[in-house]
């Protein structure tokens, strides 16, 4: 069991910020249902300190009336397999939170995601309340036409609101809130698809990992607002350096990634060098006070090959190349 956990820790470490990038409360349980890992969203939802949570099991936070159904679902779940239930989660403060529980098995561990349904339940309850009011009013013959028209107008307005909310949520689900480029989740999804596609229809595929050099120094000297402006500007410069068919994403913090489709090593290195020059040739406020004398980026490149046949291996190789660029003095491309 200990070896499996260390293996899982290593995998999560390789993917770096994926765990905390998950927007919903997320937990890893062992075979007995004990909490092994929890992201910040999960701890915030349960309002239980991690030191205390790691001595608890999932059923400790499930409402009593839902425990039997959830427990049976876990017992009947095959490996690999998944279960999905609605249940009430009870926080440390006693708050009952309606949630959708999605659990999947992987080897000796269970991955559990909780989606907070409070707003959805409130909307459903509000809709039911409005529907009952309407049903009562239609009995009043002289008011029927007017009330019906009012409900139609409300319904049309609600549809517009729902569509607007759906469109906004869809955009937020795949874009980084600060830079407007693809976020980490979409990057991982797209790279996963491309790696799987390589196994069926081999083409050339390369990956760039791009890190802003001495970004903490810039933030400390100029403030986080100035740092945010740099992140936005660098994301634009990266997009200008790659091709229109490529995908650029914010990997996390001051690190970016770019998936280069139909690009072998030589093409990928040319693109990486173009990105490096774009940033290095750009004047940033107070950039001359950076250790390099200007604000620069370091880039690691990896190309899909038999030695990097998986998403994890491809990211690891690009990361290793990035670290080589850092160790070699920064403001350079390694691959």
Looking at residue 3, what is its pLDDT? Answer: 57
In this predicted structure, the answer to whether residue 250 has a pLDDT above a threshold of 80 is yes
In this predicted structure, the answer to whether residue 238 has a pLDDT above a threshold of 90 is yes
What helix, strand, coil percent values describe the chain, rounded to 5? Answer: 55, 20, 25
**DSSP code, position 29:** E
Is the distance from CB of 71 to CB of 33 less than 8 angstroms?
Answer: no
Q: Report the alpha-carbon distance of residue 186 to residue 176 in Å, rounded.
A: 10
In this predicted structure, the answer to whether residue 11 has a pLDDT above a threshold of 80 is no
In this predicted structure, the answer to whether residue 2 has a pLDDT above a threshold of 60 is no
Radius of gyration for the alpha carbons in the chain, expressed in angstroms and rounded = 25
pLDDT tens column, 201-216: 888 999 999 999 999 9
In this predicted structure, the answer to whether residue 170 has a pLDDT above a threshold of 80 is no
Higher pLDDT, 169 or 251: 251
Looking at residue 15, what is its pLDDT? Answer: 46
Indicate the range of 17-21, 133-137, 172-176, 198-202 predicted with least confidence: 17-21
Return phi, psi of residue 18, to 5°.
Answer: -60, -45
CATH 3.30.450.20 at 2-116, yes or no: yes
Residue 119: band (very low, low, confident or very high) from pLDDT cuts 50, 70, 90: confident
Scored b (16 or more CB within 10 A) or e, 178-191 reads: ebebbbbbbbbebb
Looking at residue 167, what is its pLDDT? Answer: 45
Domain boundaries, the chain: 2-116, 119-173, 184-334
Q: Report the alpha-carbon distance of residue 255 to residue 259 in Å, rounded.
A: 14
pLDDT tens column, 22-35: 788 999 998 888 99
Looking at residue 163, what is its pLDDT? Answer: 57
CA distances from 205 to 90, 267, 278, 285, 314 (A): 47, 10, 23, 36, 10
Q: Can you read off the two tokens belonging to residue 202?
A: 């081999």
In this predicted structure, the answer to whether residue 331 has a pLDDT above a threshold of 90 is yes
pLDDT tens column, 60-109: 999 999 899 888 888 887 667 788 888 899 988 888 999 998 888 887 88
Per-residue pLDDT, averaged over 144-159, amounts to: 62
Looking at residue 118, what is its pLDDT? Answer: 83
Instruction: Please calculate the CA angle 52-252-331 and round it to the nearest 5 degrees.
Output: 135
Higher pLDDT, 13 or 95: 95
**Interhelix angle for 144-174 vs 184-200, to 10°?**
70
% of the chain at pLDDT higher than 70: 81
pLDDT tens column, 27-56: 999 888 899 999 988 889 899 999 999 899
CATH code matching the domain that covers 184-334, chosen among 3.30.70.960, 3.30.70.270, 3.40.640.10, 3.30.60.50: 3.30.70.270
Is the distance from CB of 326 to CB of 298 less than 8 angstroms?
Answer: yes
Same fold, 2-116 and 184-334: no
Sheet with 96-106, strands from edge to edge, namely 35-38, 26-29, 109-116, 96-106, 82-90
Q: Which helix (H) or strand (E) holds 316?
A: helix 311-327
Q: Evaluate the CA torsion angle 307, 312, 314, 320 in order and state its sign.
A: negative
In this predicted structure, the answer to whether residue 273 has a pLDDT above a threshold of 70 is yes
Looking at residue 138, what is its pLDDT? Answer: 59
Q: Nearest-CA neighbor of 207 among 268, 278, 298?
A: 268
Q: Report the alpha-carbon distance of residue 327 to residue 335 in Å, rounded.
A: 13
Q: Nearest-CA neighbor of 87 among 49, 45, 51?
A: 45
Instruction: Report the chain's mean pLDDT, rounded to a whole number.
Output: 85
């Amino acid at each position: 069991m200990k070896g499996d956990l260390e293996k899982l820790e290593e995998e999560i470490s390789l993917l770096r910020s994926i765990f905390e990038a998950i927007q919903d409360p997320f937990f890893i349980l062992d075979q007995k249902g004990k909490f092994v890992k929890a992201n910040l969203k999960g701890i915030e939802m349960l309002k239980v300190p991690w030191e205390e949570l790691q001595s608890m099991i999932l059923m400790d936070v499930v409402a009593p009336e839902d425990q039997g159904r959830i427990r049976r679902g876990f017992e009947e779940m095959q490996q690999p397999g998944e279960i999905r239930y609605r249940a009430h989660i009870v926080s440390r403060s006693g708050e009952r939170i309606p949630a959708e529980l999605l659990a999947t098995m992987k080897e000796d561990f269970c991955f559990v995601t909780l989606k907070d349904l409070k707003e959805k339940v409130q909307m459903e309850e509000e809709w039911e309340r409005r529907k009952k009011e309407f049903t009562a009013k239609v009995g009043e013959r002289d008011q029927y036409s007017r009330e019906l028209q009012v409900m139609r107008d409300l319904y049309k307005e609600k549809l517009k609101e729902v569509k607007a909310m759906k469109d906004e949520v869809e955009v937020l689900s795949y874009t980084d809130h600060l830079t407007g480029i693809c976020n980490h989740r979409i990057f991982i999804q797209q790279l996963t698809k491309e790696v799987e596609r390589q196994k069926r229809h081999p083409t050339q595929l390369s990956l760039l990992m791009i890190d802003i050099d001495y970004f903490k120094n810039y933030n400390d000297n100029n403030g986080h607002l100035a740092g945010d402006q740099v992140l936005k500007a660098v994301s634009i410069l990266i997009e200008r350096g790659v091709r229109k068919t490529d995908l650029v994403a914010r990997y996390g913090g001051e690190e970016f990634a770019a998936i280069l489709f139909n690009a072998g090593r030589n093409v990928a290195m040319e693109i990486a060098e173009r990105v490096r020059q774009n940033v290095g040739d750009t004047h940033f406020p107070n950039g001359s006070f950076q250790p390099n004398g200007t604000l620069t980026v370091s880039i690691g490149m990896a190309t899909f090959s038999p030695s990097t046949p998986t998403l994890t291996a491809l990211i690891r190789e690009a990361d290793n190349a990035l670290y080589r660029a850092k160790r070699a003095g920064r403001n350079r491309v390694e691959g």
